[in-house]
Structure 1
Amino acid sequence: MTSTAAPERPEAAAPRVPSQTAIALRSLWRAITGGVRNALRLSGQALGRVFGFAAPVTSVVSPLGWIVLAGAVAAFALSRIFGWIEFGFVAATLAAALLVAVAFVFGRANFSVHIELNPHRVVAGERALGRMLVTNIAAKPSIPSRMELPVGGAVAEFVVPVLAPGAEHDELFAVPTHRRAVIVAGPAITVRGDQLGLLRRTVRWTDEVELFVHPVTARLAPSASGLVRDLEGEVTKTITNDDISFHALRSYEPGDALRNVHWRTSARTGQLMVRQFEETRRSQLTIVHTTDRDAYASEDEFELAISITASIGVQVVRDGTRMSIVSERMPLSTATPTSLLDDSSRLVETSGDHANLRDFARDSTKRLPPPSVVMIVGGSQVPLADFRAAETVFGLDTQTIGFRAEFGAPSRIAKVSGLTVVTIGAIGDLPRVMRRVRP
């Protein structure tokens, strides 16, 4: 009989212990990398301090000045390396231009500058004027100065002459108000520098001042915009434990308020009975105004839509009805007509915020009180199907009206599957059309 010996099980390999050399190399690598990081950090801090210290000087050099300086260095390097004398003359000329420009940035003025806009709020197309008053508050006469005042997208330039101590100099300027906008005037700055613009030193004297150019609005008749005229509340079918409109009696449950117990019925039936009420709601108007540029055929159409929203909103605020106005980027204040018009001036076209009008209406109104009436304002590029889809966001007891701004088109009212769609071609047609709109 042959016996076979079992194979021997290999012993587990002993863990490899790093050698002293490997440990020393790792320690050295960590020290080197740590030292490099510390050196870079300290170098960055040092460069930051150097740049911060030199900022008052380097900030004076304009982009053109940096180009001239770089050209002077490059021309000097070429003249030294290749011996080209012509480039030496170029370097000397550019360096001389920078040196001459230095003399123009010296000098200091001590002014008090005040900017006035009269009025602060205008309607698009009305005239607005501005006034800049400069006073020398130094103890000695000032030197002639050039002052720049940004107004909207333009920059107005003024020359302030020599002013004796306490003397004043004022400048009048016109503000373009042909389009709805928020026009910013300021800050006023004095500019010192050479005629070539190599060096430019500025001093800021004022803050920015805003001029609100409101949209053109139409005056609506009282309650023409409200469509809901229940000043004391509108009765709904929702049953609540505490309200005004009595509904029925039910058995008392723990937690019910004792003031709602009907004692006569409780004495007759032998058990506590409490009152139930039908919920009443205050009128709540919600205006959903889309600013998506794809909804409008032109800029005039976009402005017409804002005028529609502003006209309705101002009259609703005057009527005292609760209201919320939402757009893609911001809700509009409804505290006062002025604040509403101010926010209307800030509206701009947007793009890509929501996939469609229904998503915008759902997302922008989900945190608002349940509305009695919803007005959806858009442009001629919004399909009627989108108005119908947005209507489904709200309850069946909510009256929904769509407003389409179609610049130059005949104003009209149409019914589309029960949805009222109002087309406005000119803001002057809005009062007449609103008198015909009924829930």
Structure 2
Amino acid sequence: MTTLLTDAPPGRRALRTVLTPWRLLTPLGRGVLGVGVLAVAVGVALRWHEFIQLGTAAICMIGLGYLWQALPGTPEVGMELRPDRLVEGGSRAQVLLSLRSGAAPMLFPRLVLPVGTTTVSARFPFLGPFARHEELLDLPPLPRGVYAVGPVEHEKSDPVGLVSRLFGSGSPRELLVAPRIIDLPVFAGGLTNDLEGATSQQLSMSDLAFHALREYVPGDDLRHVHWRSSAKAGELLVRQYHETRRGHVTLLVDHAVPAYGTRRDFELAVSVAASIALRAVRDEFDTYLRCGSHLARGRTAVAVTDAACRFTQGADDYLAVAADAATEVPGTGLVIQVTGSARPLAELHEAAGRFDQGADWLVVRADSRSSASRADSARLREVSVPALPALRDVLGRGLR
């Protein structure tokens, strides 16, 4: 990181300028400088020429170290992230580090690479003037999240290691670690894709999916009278239809800390939501996935996994998030709420009430301390998932 001295007061900039040479000294360099000054002082006081010579030699070594820093040619450092997206628990990411020395040779230079809050390092061999070398590093296994990788830091040090300067090169790159997912072979056994959308249980007087015939009621459109059946029955009968909607799925992930028994349950909830969302995307449903302020919408798998990488826990504003989502995706056909074991059912009903009353509902509870279960009611279907593989079993009969 480069510090802009122009942002500091003049007095502070002057102090930094004076202290910069001292900061370049390594602990060894400061020790050698202290010994040199002390030896010269003792030699002058006691007229011991050997001490004066020893101290002078030590101070000269420090001076040579500063001259080494002034040699022309700044080393060039490169970094290539392979790949920049991966799945938790899968293959590890790698970083290709390249170093090209300047006019001065480099004695076993060490490169340091920040990865999130940790660092990895590589020791390079001796590099002569303008030599180039590459090293491939394996990054450690990383949990789900977004990590800043870089910038690469390297030390320019004299051969003895008395004076050293740290250089940062390039800009950080983002490494996205997606949650674990499971493939759901069939998304929503009751969701039927056709050219106009997905049929629902809501009845309509004007649509495409025929349901049944019923008696004519004053006010019904005469265009929907089924004349042949009316003639046989001796009374007017009109067609009734299933309402069809555009294939749209909304998934809300509860990000409130109190909603989950453990942090592990929240990670399970993210994996569950991502697995369902990816299945919906593959089945060409418009998908809206949201957790707090982070969301993804559309029909692309990359958008879903990238958003899931950024999901974090926070304050309990779930009802406000649900209300906002209902405004952004009106008329959604299926709403799935993914939460923990501690979220009261009454609050889930309240969140569901923010959406279209004709939408279908599913509640998935991520609870590692429970067993896989499924309960159906007139308004909501609720399932409990103790582990990700159980998701396929509890959803085996579809989502509606």
Does TM-score exceed 0.5, indicating one fold?
yes
Distance 2:274 2:245 in 1: 25
1:224 aligns with 2:188: yes
Match of 2:347 in 1: 386
Q: Which runs of 5+ in 2 are unaligned?
A: 1-5, 31-57, 210-219, 224-241
* Native 8 Å contact 1:133 1:170 kept in 2: yes
Structure of higher CA gyration radius: 1
Aligned letter for 2:338?
Answer: V
With over 3 angstroms needed to count, the CA separation of the structure-2 counterparts of 1:56 and 1:174, relative to structure 1, is: farther
Aligned letter for 1:406?
Answer: D
With over 3 angstroms needed to count, the CA separation of the structure-2 counterparts of 1:409 and 1:59, relative to structure 1, is: farther
Aligned letter for 2:383?
Answer: V
Superposed, which structure 2 residues align to 1:51-62 within 5 Å?
A: 51-52=12-13
* Native 8 Å contact 2:86 2:93 kept in 1: no
With over 3 angstroms needed to count, the CA separation of the structure-2 counterparts of 1:359 and 1:46, relative to structure 1, is: closer
With over 3 angstroms needed to count, the CA separation of the structure-2 counterparts of 1:127 and 1:244, relative to structure 1, is: closer
What is the CA-CA distance between 1:131 and the residue it aligns to?
Answer: 3.3
Q: Deviations over 1:219-259 (max 9, x none)?
A: 0123337835344235877899xx989x9489xxxxxxxxx
Which residue, 308, 323, 335 being the options, matches 1:374?
335
Aligned letter for 2:380?
Answer: L
Aligned letter for 1:229?
Answer: N
With over 3 angstroms needed to count, the CA separation of the structure-2 counterparts of 1:162 and 1:129, relative to structure 1, is: same
* Native 8 Å contact 2:254 2:338 kept in 1: yes
1:152 aligns with 2:113: no
1:406 aligns with 2:362: no
Superposed, which structure 2 residues align to 1:24-423 within 5 Å?
A: 48-49=9-10, 51-52=12-13, 103=65, 106-107=69-70, 110-136=74-100, 138-139=102-103, 141-142=105-106, 144-192=108-156, 201-224=165-188, 227=191, 229-233=193-197, 248=221, 281-352=245-316, 354=317, 357-416=318-377, 418-423=379-384
Task: Give the root-mean-square deviation of aligned CA atoms.
Answer: 4.1
Q: Deviations over 1:388-429 (max 9, x none)?
A: 221211222111111100114211111356311111111111
Distance 1:376 1:115 in 2: 41
Distance 1:171 1:426 in 2: 39
The worse-fitting range, judged by mean Cα deviation, of 174-183 and 230-239 is 230-239
Distance 1:203 1:226 in 2: 60
What is the CA-CA distance between 1:190 and the residue it aligns to?
Answer: 1.7
* Native 8 Å contact 2:145 2:178 kept in 1: yes
With over 3 angstroms needed to count, the CA separation of the structure-2 counterparts of 1:233 and 1:158, relative to structure 1, is: closer
Distance 2:130 2:157 in 1: 25
Distance 1:217 1:184 in 2: 23
Distance 1:59 1:225 in 2: 69
Distance 2:273 2:162 in 1: 50
* Native 8 Å contact 2:85 2:177 kept in 1: yes
Distance 1:422 1:434 in 2: 8
Aligned letter for 2:127?
Answer: L
* Native 8 Å contact 2:101 2:132 kept in 1: no
Distance 2:130 2:69 in 1: 22
Task: Indicate the SS of the match to 1:404.
Answer: strand
With over 3 angstroms needed to count, the CA separation of the structure-2 counterparts of 1:151 and 1:211, relative to structure 1, is: same
TM-score, scaled to structure 1: 0.64
What is the CA-CA distance between 1:335 and the residue it aligns to?
Answer: 4.2
With over 3 angstroms needed to count, the CA separation of the structure-2 counterparts of 1:135 and 1:323, relative to structure 1, is: same
Task: Indicate the SS of the match to 1:427.
Answer: coil
Distance 2:243 2:361 in 1: 21
* Native 8 Å contact 1:225 1:316 kept in 2: no
What is the CA-CA distance between 1:206 and the residue it aligns to?
Answer: 2.2
* Native 8 Å contact 2:362 2:399 kept in 1: no
Task: Indicate the SS of the match to 2:328.
Answer: coil
What is the CA-CA distance between 1:171 and the residue it aligns to?
Answer: 2.7
Query: Identity, % of aligned pairs?
Result: 28
Match of 1:17 in 2: none
What is the CA-CA distance between 1:312 and the residue it aligns to?
Answer: 0.5
What is the CA-CA distance between 1:147 and the residue it aligns to?
Answer: 2.4
Aligned letter for 2:292?
Answer: E
Task: Indicate the SS of the match to 1:128.
Answer: coil
TM-score, scaled to structure 2: 0.70
The aligned length equals 334
Task: Indicate the SS of the match to 1:227.
Answer: coil
